[in-house]
Structure 1
């Protein structure tokens, strides 16, 4: 039999854990997006070494498990830079480094959907490259990447559960702690599953809303 009454008394802790999950995911996504633009610039660089470094980074991140990347950031990186990283900061950095590789690929794919004639027309009009990028390319790029970027964020929310291995008290770790107190694992993780679903379903609704707005802007 399921008995949720005792587990539900810890609902504030569950909500706090869900808030931390959203927080680390959002920070990781934002930082990853910035790094992703940097990787995109590396891939379009005229210098072969810069392109090679960007490609190597992307291949490493996409070819290794996230848990390995988390351990590298938490245990190896502090030894290299000589600074101790608290679990929360290490978790955000790991998510950022991971997300950056996938965001860079999303951006690259989005750029391929923009006709090359856009660049040629801007050049013929005498527009500077910076103006061309921000006034012509970026608006079209953002409309093209809305669905995959929101999908990347939802994947990051789910991936943040792995941060429990370095004692980041997000939703999964909170559920484990409550399970150890109540001895009700099914109830604890059912509540966690409901909260994850609410967050991710909200992301899917946001995607549809943004897509409708983008279609309206094109009309």
Structure 2
């Protein structure tokens, strides 16, 4: 079987645009998921049973159903809730809602590692619940969350290929379009796979550096 490098060279601009869209979608998704994850974590510790029930339902649904199904639900449901919502925005929303469930669990684990004495001291100083979260818990939680959330970001990059089915021209859809016009699938998918690998390898390297930095900070 003969491989033609010219197929990849000619299609490289489209693949790079697709990779840029993938990184944009995933970056926006992880940023939004952090906000939603914080809200879920706080709601999960609320004294209101309805909020705690919703958090359990959200996490169970996100972890217990295929991401493809979640993307399709958001894609078809979102326009009725927000007119004019583009496939790109729907894709970002779907990824963020899914990732927020995992982010909330990561945050809950980070919270459990904070010494209880800090909370007792804050309550003894009559600090409000909001101030305890803002001044004591969240700053520490975000630092503890950094390494596992970079791994979650890598997972979102892999999962973002699903968005090709709703018309988002990310890396996978760019590959599909090039294959449709060149009829050279092997070269194209090798190039697409290589680009995904490079992105995820880079994210993994950043995560390992963050973990090492965290380990040094704890031992200092």
Aligned to 1:41: 42
**How far, CA to CA, are the matches of 1:159 and 1:62 in structure 2?**
14
Conserved 8 A contact 1:7-1:182: no
**How far, CA to CA, are the matches of 2:151 and 2:208 in structure 1?**
12
Aligned to 1:170: 170
Deviations 1:128-148 (A, max 9, x none): 544443343233322322221
Equivalent runs, 1:30-179 vs 2, <5 Å:
30-79=31-80, 81=81, 83-125=83-125, 127-179=127-179
Q: Unmatched 5+ residue regions in structure 1? A: none
Aligned to 1:203: 203
**How far, CA to CA, are the matches of 1:123 and 1:140 in structure 2?**
17
Q: Unmatched 5+ residue regions in structure 2? A: none
Measured after TM superposition, the shift of residue 126 of structure 1 is: 5.0
**How far, CA to CA, are the matches of 2:23 and 2:14 in structure 1?**
14
Residue aligned with 2:217, SS: helix
Range that drifts further, 59-68 or 156-165 = 59-68
Range that drifts further, 123-132 or 198-207 = 123-132
Conserved 8 A contact 2:164-2:170: yes
Conserved 8 A contact 2:71-2:91: yes
Q: Please give the TM-score of this superposition, normalised by the length of structure 2.
A: 0.92
| Structure 1 runs of 4+ with >6 Å offset | none
Measured after TM superposition, the shift of residue 124 of structure 1 is: 3.4
Deviations 1:87-126 (A, max 9, x none): 1111111111111111111111111111212211333355
Q: Assess, with a 3 A threshold, how the Cα gap between structure 1 residues 158 and 216 changes in structure 2: closer, same or farther.
A: same
Conserved 8 A contact 1:28-1:93: yes
Q: How many residues align?
A: 218
Range that drifts further, 81-90 or 152-161 = 81-90
**How far, CA to CA, are the matches of 1:217 and 1:114 in structure 2?**
15
Deviations 1:38-96 (A, max 9, x none): 111110101111111111111111111111111111113323x2624221111111111
